[in-house]
A and B are shown apart, each in its own frame.
Chain A
């Protein structure tokens, strides 16, 4: 047996290019369907995990998919908005904990999420570097954001203006980074979190007066009490300990906007009651179960897998036939070599063993390469699938 393996190895090594092509063909044939399945399963698992951790989501009546994707993955900032009245509505029932989310804005290319501290606690997002935010104008960074921007506690970053063409709109807000959250391998890693009230300041619902007041000067070209801003007026808003007390809000807090409310019912009975209430009485709002929304969405998306499987099956079959042809032709070409071995005293069984050893070595090598390819797909492509689904 030892000699068979040695002779098989020498033969394959001698024809190394042909052997390598055979190994690549065989490994791809096996790894392709398995790899695609693995990547799809990983994407599905990642989506469903997040949905599983989120019992119910309330929001403005409309597309349940948009609402769910916005609340879970912060990927649709322009989704229809609801108001804080929705939070009051859920809290007043006493059946569930209400976690409002406002995901309209961004900062340096990352979603800026307005939340209450309850959200961070519910998602088990703890500060691993620095401190938790304590006042308006402060933020904590998801682990991926901190790594990508190279920011640490004590740094600052500017919010992105909502609309570049809105010349009379709000100035960007300069945020103070107080901490970095631990990595959770979830969409929270790629987000910047601020207090809901800070998000409303960006919205223009709350503001301070000190910065503008300092820059007011009398217009020398006009008589009377005409005043104008001088050139020293800063073109961004910054909340500091000095001007913090001047910040205040206007209007009824119940009308302030939010993107969605995550509702965490106290128990199964509370969940049923809450869903019943929304089904029967709330005509301007909807309450969705993210798990069923995500499952339906993934079922629809992953129907493509059946097509993939069919195509890959056909490709695999044709590759297998081609390989069989290559193998039989190669045996025919080796007829002289076999005859020499026979004349040297080898039995037919010995030659059979040689061919089997060569085949096994090819199969084993293909298996190893296929395994490496699947491992690479699992590690590097699982995020790609999630991004593709959410894009």
Chain B
């Protein structure tokens, strides 16, 4: 009897040791995949795709435009240690040619549609925010605003994660289906807006909506205005002249324009609509919330005042 109790106790001890060991092996054997993202959409995609299995870093400080950000030596050293560096491509990361990063860990998520990059010519040099003087010449880089391109970028990122960590294949593939469904819904809503608009001219406060315009066939023209800076009178005059040939009634803004600008726009019968690019993390909510908000604002603004058709849910 005593012998049997002894054997049982030994058995329990081995079982406990086994469970403890297995837990340790599992915990130590699969540390989360360390991903560094160059912009917020990619950081969001990586978080959605990998869930708890990935650790996503987005090193650009809040309020700074990632397209004109320059990483410091410490950030570059951290990137060198990452398992995967998710890049937007399309000349978004202007710092990439000046830093030393492992080639094999870099994934250019827009490489698949590289032949379709939009090249911007005759851009104006201007300044706003902490990044100083800059121009939008070169390649248009807000590729994710065409949601079909965003799907391609998410797919490229998913493949890179799976290549890097084959054990995450099923998790990433499952999550990719959900992400694609959400992006498809946004794409559908944007198409609804484009149909609703029927080719009427649109204005944008900044030249960052090139892919949005091309993707959804929008007749869009940009100026170089900032939400907090009142444009000089000559720019208002240029706008008034432009409105004679292009009677636009909606103007896309990256952020809420100042009340003074709003008043002047209203006087010109132009309605400002905030459409965040989300290159950096939005102040509240996530990428999908911000994009749904963007699209719903557009649809609501384009609807005739008499119409009371309910909004399609994203």
Contact = CB atoms under 8 A, between A and B. Distances in A.
B70 A117 contact: no
Nearest to B100: A195
Interface in A180-205: 195, 197
Contact of B102 (A116, A197, A206, A247): A116
Interface residues of A, number: 21
A247 B94 CA distance: 11
A97 B97 contact: no
A132 B100 CA distance: 9
Given A132-B77, A134-B76, A134-B80, A248 B103 contact: no
B99 interface: yes
B103 A135 contact: no
A97 B104 contact: yes
A282 interface: no
A247 B103 contact: no
Contacts of B80: 117, 132, 134
Interface in B65-110: 70, 73, 76-77, 80, 97-104
Interface string A214-258: 000000000000000000000000000000110111000000000
A134 B73 contact: yes
Contacts of B77: 131-132, 134
Find the residue from A116, A131, A135 having the highest chain B CB count within 10 A. Answer: A135
A136 interface: yes
Given A134-B77, A134-B80, A118 B98 contact: no
A94 to B, nearest CB: 9
B97 A118 contact: no
A97 B164 CA distance: 13
A248 B70 CA distance: 14
Find the residue from B70, B73, B101 having the highest chain A CB count within 10 A. Answer: B73
B91 to A, nearest CB: 12
A117 B73 CA distance: 15
B104 A245 contact: no
A133 B76 CA distance: 9
Contacts of B73: 131, 134-135
A86 interface: no
A154 to B, nearest CB: 13
A166 interface: no
B112 to A, nearest CB: 12
A358 interface: no
Contact of B100 (A134, A245, A247, A249): A134
Interface residues of B, number: 13
A131 B74 CA distance: 10
Contact of A116 (B70, B76, B98, B103): B103
A117 B102 contact: yes
B98 A117 contact: no
B90 to A, nearest CB: 15
Dominant SS among interface residues on chain B: helix
A277 to B, nearest CB: 20
Contacts of A135: 73, 76, 98-100
Given A132-B80, A134-B77, A118 B100 contact: no
Contacts of A306: none
A119 B97 CA distance: 18
A138 interface: yes
Nearest to B101: A117
B103 A118 contact: yes
A117 B103 contact: yes
A30 to B, nearest CB: 52
A342 to B, nearest CB: 82
Interface in B96-129: 97-104
A64 B77 CA distance: 37
A249 B97 contact: yes
Contacts of B99: 134-136
Contacts of A116: 102-104
Contacts of B103: 98, 116-118
Given A135-B76, A245-B70, A117 B100 contact: yes
A117 B105 CA distance: 10
A117 B98 CA distance: 14
A267 interface: no
A132 B80 CA distance: 9
Contact of A136 (B70, B98, B101): B98
A133 B97 contact: no
B117 to A, nearest CB: 14
A133 B100 contact: yes
Nearest to B102: A117
Interface string A113-154: 000111001000000000111111010000000000000000
A195 B98 CA distance: 10
Contacts of A118: 102-104
Contacts of B98: 135-136, 197, 244-245, 247
Nearest to A245: B70
A273 B230 CA distance: 62
Contacts of A206: 97
Contacts of A248: 97
Contacts of B76: 134-135
Contacts of B102: 116-118, 121
Nearest to A122: B104
A53 B291 CA distance: 50
B78 to A, nearest CB: 10
Interface string B183-215: 000000000000000000000000000000000
Interface of B: 70, 73, 76-77, 80, 97-104
30 contacts: A98-B103, A116-B102, A116-B103, A117-B100, A117-B102, A118-B102, A118-B103, A131-B73, A131-B77, A132-B100, A134-B73, A134-B76, A134-B77, A135-B73, A135-B76, A135-B99, A135-B100, A136-B99, A136-B100, A138-B100, A195-B100, A197-B97, A197-B98, A197-B100, A244-B70, A244-B98, A245-B98, A247-B98, A248-B97, A249-B97
8 closest pairs, A vs B, by CB?
A134-B76, A117-B102, A195-B100, A116-B103, A118-B104, A134-B73, A118-B102, A133-B100
